Amino acid sequence: LKVDPFDLVVFGGTGDLAHRKLFPALFRRFLDGQFTAPSRLIGASRQNLDDAGYRATICEALQRFSSEAGRTDALKSFLDIIFYVPLDVGADTGWDLLAKKLSADPSPVRAFYLATTPDLFGMIAKQLAAHGMVTPGSRIIVEKPIGRDGASAARINDALGAVFAEQQIYRIDHYLGKETVQNLMALRFANALLEPVWNSAHIDNVEITVAESIGVEERGAYYETAGALRDMVQNHLLQLLCLIAMEPPASMEADAVRDEKLKVLKALAPIDVSNAAKLTVRGQYRSGASEGGVAPSYTQDVGKDESMTETFVALKVCIDNWRWAGTPFYLRTGKRLPQRVSELIVSFREIPHSIFSPESGKISKTRLVIRLQPDEGIKLWLMLKEPGAGGMRLRYVPLDMNFAEAFAIYAPEAYERLLMDVIRGNATLFMRRDEVEAAWRWIDPIKEAWGQSNEPPRPYFAGTWGPAAAIALVERDGRSWNEEI
């Protein structure tokens, strides 16, 4: 489906996100014929480049990060709609040039993507307004992290809100654009089977694992000030939790969905200095065997002798409401874990009574495994009878749905979907101000408790599943992380 003609300005247009994610995603949508002429993509950053110079950097980035870069004719046409404006946000230069460029050939939809550090968000919004670039058809897209705590997030939101109406602000959490994450809504609300049992009477516990095998890469400077709690839990993991736990929204309208997610965030049982030691584990990787070699430690990665920044977090989260009281949600995320895998695992309660003899074998809990990446798919683990005349032997087997095999069509990357949603004006998969701030309100006391404890993060070797305490966190409850991963 084609979108209206648009101008998209990417601040931080020479940065890592623009190269790695944004332009490859835009190229893919362009190839699919989704753009309507005369749409333009305008990079803006401090580097002193002209259009040709910028196109060359984007061409190079696509060669590295897009599997479609071999389609040279299409690539050439794509580069033709890319422009550049050298602009220094802090030094107040380049804004007039940008304003001129935009007004020369105005498109009905004007989107500003802020792929910069959050401390520039407010200033950019102000300058856009001061230079008359904000039109009724304008929208602004901001990347996470929105601030580093509740107070700074509120300040950023105030600054954005002074220029843009809330409906014009698109706060990206790219996990919401992942195909399987959206499928979670289809699974829950397009089937009659699950919703009646989707509560603590039937669900024993939920695990959310977002594991990465990479370290902090070139983002050490940012990561050192953030840590896994701010980088991953405040946004991606809490958003996943919301989608699993929320009540059915009345529709897919942005506010209907966001209202329900907000209620979950508000119902999260507080974790603070009184219980953080019991409910949280933080770790930091040491050097270890990883990805076929030996990975350096986190402190080596960021070039420091020591650091209090966590690269791994495990949490036991409870939701204080009727649906979920009594069902813990175990969350974990980390860098330099054995593999890149994101999974949601819903374990149902044990059967109340077994009619089978002990020789039939152990009866495991029914489990629904939703794999977000890689190999997106859904598995429902059930007990069934093993074929044969040897009596009733029970086996734990999966009903297995692998998206790539089942649909055999290209699954768009999260940014492809989200960028086009912005142009269409569909905010369902973006975060509203109150959601972001509610998430911070829950995160801040955890951070404070860690700060007060003065204990460093627990060490774990690169290539392992985090500190042993993360295993103990779940085993204390008589459960274990799903070993099937």
Q: What residue ranges bind ligand BG6 (CB under 6 A)? A: 212, 231
- Alpha carbons 197 and 186: distance in angstroms, whole number: 16
Q: Does residue 144 have a known ligand-binding role?
A: yes
Phi, psi of 83 (to 5 degrees): -135, 170
Contact 330, 315 (CB under 8 A): yes
Cα(178)–Cα(29) distance, rounded to whole angstroms? 15
Tell the smallest beta-carbon distance from residue 309 to ligand BG6 (Å). 12
Q: Closer to ligand BG6 at the Cβ: 7 or 143?
A: 143
* Phi, psi values for residue 35, rounded to 5°: -85, 145
Cβ 228 to ligand BG6 shortest distance, Å: 8
Tell me: cis bond preceding 145? Omega within 30 of 0 counts. Answer: yes
DSSP designation for 167: G
The residue (of 55 and 174) whose beta carbon lies closer to ligand BG6 is: 174
Q: Is 217 left (phi over 0), alpha (psi -120 to 50) or beta?
A: left
19, 202, 236, 353: the catalytic one is 236
**Percent helix, strand and coil across the chain, each rounded to 5?**
40, 20, 40
- Give the shortest CB-212-to-ligand BG6 separation in angstroms: 5
Residue 385 marked in a binding site:
no
**Closer CB to ligand BG6, residue 43 or residue 145?**
145
**Residue 259 class from Cβ within 10 Å (0-12 exposed, 13-18 middle, 19+ buried)?**
middle
Q: How many CA atoms lie within 13 A of 457 on its CB side?
A: 27
What residue is closest to ligand BG6 based on CB? 231
Is 379 annotated among the ligand-binding residues? no
User: Which CB atom, from 40 or from 230, has the smaller least distance to ligand BG6?
Assistant: 230
Instruction: State the CB neighbour count (10 A cutoff) for residue 68.
Output: 14
d(CA 198, CA 206): 11
Least Å distance between CB 120 and ligand BG6?
Answer: 17
Least separation, in Å, of the C-beta of 372 and ligand BG6? 8
Six-digit token string for 6: 């648009």
The long-range contacts involving 162-168, CB below 8 angstroms and separated by at least 24 positions, are: 162/125, 162/126, 162/129, 163/125, 163/126, 163/128, 163/129, 163/134, 164/125, 164/134, 164/138, 164/139, 164/140, 166/432, 166/433, 167/427, 168/138, 168/139, 168/140
**DSSP E strand boundaries for 151-279:** 169-171, 203-211
Q: Does residue 174 have a known ligand-binding role?
A: yes
DSSP 431: B
Toward ligand BG6, which CB reaches closer, 55 or 144? 144
- Smallest gap from Cβ 231 to ligand BG6, in A, equals 5
CA 330 to CA 74: how far, in whole Å?
46
The answer on whether 447 is annotated among ligand-binding residues is no
Is 46 annotated to bind a ligand? Reply is: yes
**Cis-peptide, bond into residue 38, ω within 30° of zero:** yes
The least CB distance from residue 315 to ligand BG6, in Å, is 17
Strands (E), 335-437: 341-348, 367-373, 377-385, 394-402
**236 noted as active-site residue:** yes
Closer to ligand BG6 by Cβ: residue 111 or 172: 172
Give the E-state strand segments of 249-376 in sequence order: 280-286, 288-290, 293-295, 312-317, 329-334, 341-348, 367-373
Q: From the CB of 364, what's the least distance to ligand BG6, in Å?
A: 29
Feature table: binding site for substrate: 174, 178, 212, 231, 335
Catalytic residues: 236
- Residues flagged as binding site: 46, 88-89, 144, 174, 178, 212, 231, 335
